[in-house]
Copies of this chain bind each other. A is one copy, B any other.
Amino acid sequence: MSRPPVSDPNRPSLRNPALRPLTLRDVSEASGVSEMTVSRVLRNRGDVSNATRDKVLVAAKMLGYVPNKIAGALASQRVNLVAVVVPSLGNLVFPEVLGGISETLEDTGLQPVFGVTNYSPEREEAVLYEMLSWRPSGVIVAGLEHSDASRAMLRNAGIPIVEIMDVDGDPIDSVVGISHVRAGREMARAIIAAGYRRIGFLGTKMPEDYRARKRMQGFEAELAEAGLNLEDREFYSGGSALAKGREMTAAMLARSPHLDFLYYSNDMIGAGGLLWCLEKGIDVPGKLGLAGFNGVDLLDGLPRKLATMDACRREIGQRAAQIVAGQSGSGLVGGERVELTPRLQPGDTIRKP
């Protein structure tokens, strides 16, 4: 099952009759200019006369030459790739972070390359190993929790490492994110201030979702300091988060009808819960308050605006990219720490105090 041979009539190439990757030498021969000068033209380096430059560019375009970065990288010991490792793309959270990264890297000459771990430390290790073996200029990786091997690889890579999303932990090098513990605490404070007392928590079952767990921990800690505790909790995994939000809400309220607040670990299940409550005619936020987490813009389209907390996703991507690109303006070399402040968006599902 290999590619067709050069002579295969079905896949002819007008521009590249050799049907093998063109080299600098081909351009050199076609233009009558030395390989070295061709290389300079193609990289806009050094001084080249306009006449020569034009000859080279015409030849390169005519042949359809695409430089071989593998050889270039090996020779120059420079790779314009930034490895970006996230747990998931289905989450809505991460695409936005990646958007911030791409945008910021756009005019730095650096190129993001994405890898996905599915919340598995083993996958993370494999993905990091694979990516590091291409000797990228930097790594941006979600979270502060990694296997020992992953940490060792990153530490030894000798390139900027930026851990993102979360600042509650021990970074390898730089870190950009929010404190999820604090986010949980602040939400608890707002809820208590609004007069709610009988509170339930709904979240993901995934033990690897450290950030959701930290929010819950902060949340409970704050409740405890107010003499309260979580009266019920429910966890899910898999399936449509919106539908799960409905189901879990129904289940929890059937089991614990006295609850007056539900804190969801993400906006999607929160939105499901909200829709369910509205259908049941439950008085939100009068009898029952609701809040989620992330500030996804989906919430703008709901019948009522779910209280949430913005996770600064885009900005996290931007700041991380700046650090990798050496544009953070901090004057620091590595070891930066950027803690962003999530903004509480009270929406319409928490009583005004």
Nearest chain B residue, comparing its CB with the CB of A84 = B114
Query: Inside 8 A of A66's CB, which chain B residues have their CB?
Result: 129, 132-133, 153, 156-157
Q: Tell me whether A10 and B158 are in contact in the complex, defined as CB-CB below 8 angstroms, given that A129-B66, A240-B298, A241-B301 are known contacts.
A: no
Q: Mark A1-35, 1 if CB is under 8 A from B, else 0.
A: 11110000011010110011100000000000000
Query: Inside 8 A of A102's CB, which chain B residues have their CB?
Result: 116
Is A64's CB under 8 angstroms from B153's CB?
A: yes
Measured in the bound complex, the distance between the Cα atoms of B296 and A92 in whole Å is 13
Query: Inside 8 A of A13's CB, which chain B residues have their CB?
Result: 155-156, 158
- Total residues of chain A contacting the partner, CB 8 A: 72
Query: Inside 8 A of A69's CB, which chain B residues have their CB?
Result: 133-135
* 8 Å CB contact of A245 from B68, B116, B240, B301: B301
Measured in the bound complex, the distance between the Cα atoms of B297 and A134 in whole Å is 36
Query: Inside 8 A of A114's CB, which chain B residues have their CB?
Result: 113-114
8 contacts between A and B (CB under 8 A): A2-B333, A16-B156, A64-B152, A67-B133, A70-B135, A89-B95, A95-B95, A242-B300
Given A70-B73, A111-B130, A243-B300: 8 more A-B contacts, CB < 8 Å: A4-B333, A11-B155, A16-B158, A19-B158, A113-B113, A113-B114, A240-B297, A275-B302
Measured in the bound complex, the distance between the Cα atoms of B196 and A42 in whole Å is 60
Q: Which of A104-124 contact B (CB under 8 A)?
A: 111, 113-114, 116
Q: Tell me whether A240 and B64 are in contact in the complex, defined as CB-CB below 8 angstroms, given that A4-B334, A70-B70, A156-B13 are known contacts.
A: no
Say whether A190 faces chain B, with CB atoms less than 8 Å apart.
Answer: no
Measured in the bound complex, the distance between the Cα atoms of B105 and A78 in whole Å is 28
Query: Inside 8 A of A244's CB, which chain B residues have their CB?
Result: 301
Is A10's CB under 8 angstroms from B334's CB?
A: yes
Say whether A87 faces chain B, with CB atoms less than 8 Å apart.
Answer: no
Is B99's CB under 8 angstroms from A90's CB?
A: yes
Say whether A346 faces chain B, with CB atoms less than 8 Å apart.
Answer: no
Nearest chain B residue, comparing its CB with the CB of A89 = B95
Q: Which of A213-246 contact B (CB under 8 A)?
A: 239-246
Say whether A79 faces chain B, with CB atoms less than 8 Å apart.
Answer: yes
Query: Inside 8 A of A68's CB, which chain B residues have their CB?
Result: 133, 135
Say whether A303 faces chain B, with CB atoms less than 8 Å apart.
Answer: yes
Q: Tell me whether A335 and B301 are in contact in the complex, defined as CB-CB below 8 angstroms, given that A116-B102, A153-B66, A160-B3 are known contacts.
A: no
- Smallest Cβ distance from A314 to chain B, in angstroms? 11
Q: Which of A66-99 contact B (CB under 8 A)?
A: 66-71, 73-74, 79, 89-90, 92, 95-96, 98-99
- Smallest Cβ distance from A291 to chain B, in angstroms? 18
* 8 Å CB contact of A3 from B153, B159, B279, B301: B159
Q: Mark A261-285, 1 if CB is under 8 A from B, else 0.
A: 0000000000110010001000000
- Smallest Cβ distance from A19 to chain B, in angstroms? 5
